[in-house]
Amino acid sequence: MPLVGFGLWKVPNETCADTVYRAIQYGYRLFDCACDYGNEKEAGDGVRRAIADGLVKREDLWITTKIWNTFHAPAHVHEAARMQLQHWGLEYFDLLLVHFPIALQYVDPKHRYPPAWWDDNKQLLPMEKTPMQATWKAYEELVDQGLVKNIGISNCSGSIINDMMTYARYEPQVLQVEMHPYLNQEALVQMAKSLGMAMTGYSSFGPQGYIELQMDKGVGSLFKNDVIVGIAKKHGKTPAQVLLRWSTQRGIAVLPKATDSALLKENFASTSFNLDEVDLKKIGSLNRNIRFNDPADFSPKMSIF
């Protein structure tokens, strides 16, 4: 799996295909999407155009996507995977993730797609009685059927991973979680390492991607943090590149989202230098355990059955 990928969350449908095409031109090979992002069809258009134009071959790309919380029942896992492959216009995914270890009531895609967290009246969807074990077995079947090459999990804690290890026929290959200097996930990083599980950190820029959703918790920009700015100046790089390198240098993949060409290039070039031990220590000490993407913030009354 490449270390620097492109994240598709909130990439507008109108410009998505062109952005993906440009990203491929600039060297990106990993694309991270999800049913929930509502732009898989357009992302697939960009990918297929790049392949048709001879920029890349399918096997040069790593396409990651995620099945949404309303498709946790085994039959719905199969339905969603096939539907999402059709949206992309692809025969297989390189990586399929369980988006959250949270099973919500099924929503028929003909009724609403993507289904989101809420019903038509903006009430949180009720939870569904599907244990993770049943969901995971269906993911494993998708591997057996050749529809996905690797399966993994997102937004999972250590206790869920420990439980999965008791029944998994195929252990999760990748763990994708929120990760930035304000949430360094140190214990989880150690756990994944000890299990040989690859890791991807999302929202590398901390609050940046959450400002437009008013989910940034009033936390100041990491781009203006004195420690990050100081390290960036020292290496002649941008704060964004320092934040990305902090993960990739430790073998953790990143998925920066940008639509502007200059930023796309800047992010892709973030592996062109190395932080030193002092830099890594200083960045590690910024941890404040602040999680911006936390279902507990918007689902405190999530109905349990």
Active-site positions read: 37
How many Cα atoms occupy the beta-carbon half-sphere of 279 within 13 Å?
Answer: 20
Q: Three-state DSSP class for 31?
A: strand
Q: Is 209 in the site for ligand NAD (CB under 6 A)?
A: yes
Q: Which stretch binds ligand NAD (CB under 6 A): 122-130, 214-222, 228-236, 262-270?
A: 262-270
Q: Is 267 in the site for ligand NAD (CB under 6 A)?
A: yes
- For residue 292, the minimal CB distance to ligand NAD (Å) is 8
CA terminus-to-terminus distance, the chain: 38
Q: Is 125 in the site for ligand NAD (CB under 6 A)?
A: no
Residue 164 to residue 221: CA distance in whole angstroms: 36
- For residue 102, the minimal CB distance to ligand NAD (Å) is 11
Of 197, 219, 263, 302, which lies in the binding site for ligand NAD, with binding defined by CB under 6 A? 263
CA distances from 281 to 54, 230, 275, 286, 288 (A): 43, 14, 10, 9, 15
Residue 53 to residue 22: CA distance in whole angstroms: 12
Residue reference for tokens 């230098």: 273
Q: Is 65 in the site for ligand NAD (CB under 6 A)?
A: no
Task: Evaluate whether 98 touches 135 at the Cβ level (below 8 Å).
Answer: yes
As to burial, measured by CB atoms within 10 angstroms (0-12 exposed, 13-18 middle, 19+ buried), residue 26 is middle
Q: Which stretch binds ligand NAD (CB under 6 A): 38-46, 160-168, 197-205, 281-289?
A: 197-205
Q: Is 256 in the site for ligand NAD (CB under 6 A)?
A: yes
Closest by CA position to 104, among listed 297, 304, 293: 304
- For residue 110, the minimal CB distance to ligand NAD (Å) is 25
Nearer to ligand NAD, 73 or 232 (CB): 232
Q: Which stretch binds ligand NAD (CB under 6 A): 3-11, 106-114, 137-145, 283-291?
A: 3-11
DSSP state of 170: S
Of 3, 8, 96, 189, which lies in the binding site for ligand NAD, with binding defined by CB under 6 A? 8
Q: Is 7 in the site for ligand NAD (CB under 6 A)?
A: yes
Closest by CA position to 221, among listed 213, 232, 209: 209
Of 69, 84, 130, 204, which lies in the binding site for ligand NAD, with binding defined by CB under 6 A? 204
Residues β-bridged to residue 201 = 177, 254
- For residue 7, the minimal CB distance to ligand NAD (Å) is 2
- For residue 259, the minimal CB distance to ligand NAD (Å) is 7
Residue with the shortest CB distance to ligand NAD: 7
Closest by CA position to 186, among listed 267, 275, 250, 100: 250
Residue 247 to residue 181: CA distance in whole angstroms: 9
Q: Is 16 in the site for ligand NAD (CB under 6 A)?
A: no
Nearer to ligand NAD, 105 or 200 (CB): 200
Residues binding ligand NAD (CB under 6 A): 7-9, 32, 99, 154-155, 176, 202-205, 208-209, 240, 255-258, 263, 266-267, 293
